[in-house]
Amino acid sequence: MSWADLIIQGALLGGYYALLAGGLSFLYGVMRIINLAHGSLAVVTAYVFWAMAEYWQLQPLLLILVLLPLMGFVGWCLYRLVFERSLHGGALIPILSTFGLATVLDNVLFQNFGADTRSLAPYFDTLAYDSWTLPGDIIVGQLAVIEFALAVAVLGGLHLLLTRTSVGRQIRATSEDEDAARIVGVNTRRIHALATAMAFGIIAAAGIALGLRATFDAYAGPQQLIFAFEAVVMGGAGSLWGTLLGGVTLGIAQSVGARINPQGFLIAGHVTFLAVLLARVYAGDRLRALLAARWLHS
Amino acid sequence: MTLLAVQGLCSAHGLLQAVRTVDLSLGEGEVLALVGANGAGKTTLLRTIAGVHRAAAGRIFFDGTDITHFAPHERVARGIALVPEGRRLFLEMTVEENLRVGSAAGRKGSWDLDRVLHAFSMLQRLRKVKATHLSGGQQQATAIGRALMANPRLLLLDELSLGLSPKAIESVYVSLRALTDAHTTIILVEQDLQRSLSFAGRVACMLEGQIVAQGRANEMTREQVMQHYFGARLAAGGAPSV
């Protein structure tokens, strides 16, 4: 595999990570909630999809159309029942409550579906295995390209929503200063619930993408949470395009790690995450000062 | 016609009762200057009327409707807009975006983006500039414009001239004069007593959370206001000049 091939495959994998991290980043950006149930919720969506396709033989496209708004509704309800109350309890309570939610979800899945791994690939014909050949004999999976395009579309759509619409401006206002947003008449409670619903819609898309590209089991959630978390932190928490960049960075790091050593796939991603985190902590201010000085003298 | 009626209003910050049994009424088109020393409860009273701060007791009637338990966005929709102390702009958003956010929950009316930019002409060339890059005067103009975008019937202005240069203050008050000419009802909290007395039709003095005196601005002397401003004990020792 050439380096160009490696980078392309890594970047496409990063598209999935960006999609996975999109909901986490958006929820953090609007409400400063670190949703530790993020990965588990994605896996729940994959299981619900699998169960409905397996037992009810529903069409995959119909299931996508049903599951995305359904998860949005679940998000709305969870905001009203869990997040809203826990937000009033300080920074730690939302973390603890979402951790508890993740634990419950993982164990409910295990109790109902057991330890068997499952996949959504069989319900989408041969999409998971089809590919295109690019110049230079670089073969890219159609699913990977679709997931990358979906990530760009979701993050780009969110960007447009936030910058071009009244609801988007209200979300940004609430995110920046909730008290001031209430003063000018923004219904911050509704905005928070809406943002949670949107984040859960994105989580649902990521869950289906997960089920298509890989096998999953009841305890796959925490691993997905770590990938999402790494992509968000590397790209800058709350930044949508940063999330895409973080996801691509993670994907490329994992691909390069696997090239160096077949066992190095995961560890290379974690090491890159730590390196970026340390660089942000120790050199972030100096780097910003350097860039500012260059900008002033240009 | 009475637009705002506040009856026995109490409001607290934890154990500290910041507003104590305040009674106040305001007619359509009236301008009331609310004066008092720091900590007298002026800001809390405005925030309670706007619904951002919860009333501990008492009632607030707006245009005959009891709005005591209404959420802030419901009050904005009925025509109450607050320009808060310190402006509280959304600094990462442009001037235009700040103004547009102001119209999200507001009433339909004659104030729209074009009219606000016309009224505050300094904002015309700054509409695409982030609020964080504005001067104090420009920020205050944006904050007032944002409140006007809600087409308020009652405008609550808190510490309008705080931190502004004399030139910026003059510019802001010139713009406000156009609002009073259009019979917008205003409650103005202002540290500059002289300016308050000349701008408002009525004055209410707050001391330790209560309204201790009120009357027509042109019938109250500066000394009377100062006496209530600092309380009788200080006034007996000679009030400082304004």
Q: Which domains, and CATH codes, for chain B?
A: 2-236 (3.40.50.300)
- Bridge partners of B13, per DSSP, are B16
Interchain contact A174–B (C-beta under 8 A): no
Listed by start position, the domains of chain A span 3-221
Distance between B207 CA and the closest CA of chain A, angstroms: 25
> B185-189 and B31-35: which strand pairing?
parallel
> Quick one: angle between helices A3-31 and A142-164, nearest 10?
30
Interchain contact A8–B (C-beta under 8 A): no
> Looking at beta carbons, which residues of chain B come within 8 Å of A187?
71, 73, 105
Q: Which amino acid is at A169?
A: R
Interchain contact B100–A (C-beta under 8 A): yes
The predicted pLDDT at position A295 comes to: 60
Interchain contact B92–A (C-beta under 8 A): yes
Side-chain half-sphere exposure of A166, counting CA atoms within 13 A: 11
pLDDT-based confidence at B109, cuts 50/70/90?
confident
d(CA A127, CA A209): 12
The predicted pLDDT at position B148 comes to: 93
How far apart, in Å, are the Cα atoms of B95 and each of A167, B133, B134? 17, 10, 9
How far apart, in Å, are the Cα atoms of A209 and each of A148, A202, A222, A246, A268? 10, 11, 16, 18, 23
Interchain contact A285–B (C-beta under 8 A): no
The predicted pLDDT at position A297 comes to: 60
Count chain A–chain B contacts defined by CB atoms under 8 A.
Answer: 68
Buried b / exposed e over A146-173, threshold 16 CB at 10 Å, is ebbebbeebbeebeeebeeeebbbbbbb
Please answer yes or no on whether A169 and B104 come within 8 Å at the CB atom: yes
> Looking at beta carbons, which residues of chain A come within 8 Å of B88?
177, 179-180, 183
Q: ipTM of the predicted structure?
A: 0.89
The predicted pLDDT at position A136 comes to: 85
Nearest CB among B51, B52, B104 relative to A166 is that of B104
pLDDT-based confidence at B123, cuts 50/70/90?
very high
To which residue do tokens 């859960």 refer? A200
Interchain contact A289–B (C-beta under 8 A): no
- Residue B107: closest CA among chain A residues belongs to which residue? A185
The predicted pLDDT at position B163 comes to: 78
d(CA B11, CA B209): 9
Query: Which of B46, B52, B70, B73 is the best residue to mutate to test the A interface, defined by the most A CB atoms within 10 Å of its own CB?
Result: B73
pLDDT greater than 70 at residue B118: yes
Residue A140 φ/ψ, nearest 5 degrees: -120, 140
pLDDT-based confidence at B4, cuts 50/70/90?
very high
In a 10 Å sphere around its CB, with 0-12 CB exposed, 13-18 middle and 19+ buried, how is residue B132 labelled? exposed
pLDDT greater than 60 at residue B233: no
- Residue range B131-157: mean pLDDT, rounded: 93
- Non-local CB neighbours of B68 within 8 Å, separated by 6+ positions: B55, B58, B59, B60
Interchain contact B70–A (C-beta under 8 A): no
Please answer yes or no on whether A183 and B52 come within 8 Å at the CB atom: yes
Say how far residue A173 (Cα) sits from the centre of its chain.
23
Interchain contact B76–A (C-beta under 8 A): yes
- Residue B105: closest CA among chain A residues belongs to which residue? A185
To which residue do tokens 């910003």 refer? A288
The pLDDT > 70 percentage for chain B reads 95
The predicted pLDDT at position A294 comes to: 67
Give per-10-residue mean pLDDT for chain A (298 aa).
89 96 93 94 97 93 95 96 89 93 97 95 91 90 96 95 95 95 96 97 97 96 96 87 95 94 92 92 74 61
How far apart, in Å, are the Cα atoms of A223 and each of A149, A156, B60? 23, 26, 53
d(CA A25, CA A236): 9
d(CA B49, CA B68): 8
Interchain contact A166–B (C-beta under 8 A): yes
| pLDDT tens-digit map of B168-200 | 888 888 888 888 888 889 999 988 888 888 889
Interchain contact A170–B (C-beta under 8 A): yes
The predicted pLDDT at position B196 comes to: 83
- Residue A170: closest CA among chain B residues belongs to which residue? B101
| pLDDT tens-digit map of B219-229 | 887 777 777 77
Residue A144 φ/ψ, nearest 5 degrees: -60, -40
The predicted pLDDT at position A2 comes to: 85
pLDDT greater than 80 at residue B26: yes
Interchain contact A177–B (C-beta under 8 A): yes
pLDDT greater than 60 at residue B81: yes
Distance between B215 CA and the closest CA of chain A, angstroms: 29
The predicted pLDDT at position B236 comes to: 45
Interchain contact A191–B (C-beta under 8 A): no
How far apart, in Å, are the Cα atoms of A217 and each of A21, A142, A289, B172, B177? 19, 24, 46, 63, 68
Contact A97, A33 (CB under 8 A): no
How far apart, in Å, are the Cα atoms of A74 and each of A12, A193, A196, A197, B1? 29, 10, 9, 7, 48
> Please, which residues 129-168 of chain B have a Cβ atom closer than 8 Å to chain A?
146-147, 150
d(CA B141, CA A209): 49
pLDDT greater than 90 at residue B100: yes
Please answer yes or no on whether A176 and B104 come within 8 Å at the CB atom: no
The predicted pLDDT at position A292 comes to: 65
The predicted pLDDT at position B213 comes to: 87
Please answer yes or no on whether A185 and B90 come within 8 Å at the CB atom: no
Residue A84 φ/ψ, nearest 5 degrees: -60, -45
> Looking at beta carbons, which residues of chain B come within 8 Å of A179?
52, 88
pLDDT-based confidence at B234, cuts 50/70/90?
very low
CA dihedral sign, ordered B157, B8, B203, B230: negative
- Non-local CB neighbours of A39 within 8 Å, separated by 6+ positions: A20, A102, A220, A221, A222, A223, A224, A225, A226, A227, A228
- Please work out, in degrees rounded to the nearest 5, the angle formed at the alpha carbon of residue A12 by the alpha carbons of A6 and A14: 100
Coil vs helix vs strand at B21: strand
d(CA A132, CA A128): 12
More confident residue, A276 or B218: A276
Interchain contact B59–A (C-beta under 8 A): no
**Tally of residues, chain A:** 298
How far apart, in Å, are the Cα atoms of B30 and each of A297, B82, B173, B202? 54, 16, 16, 8
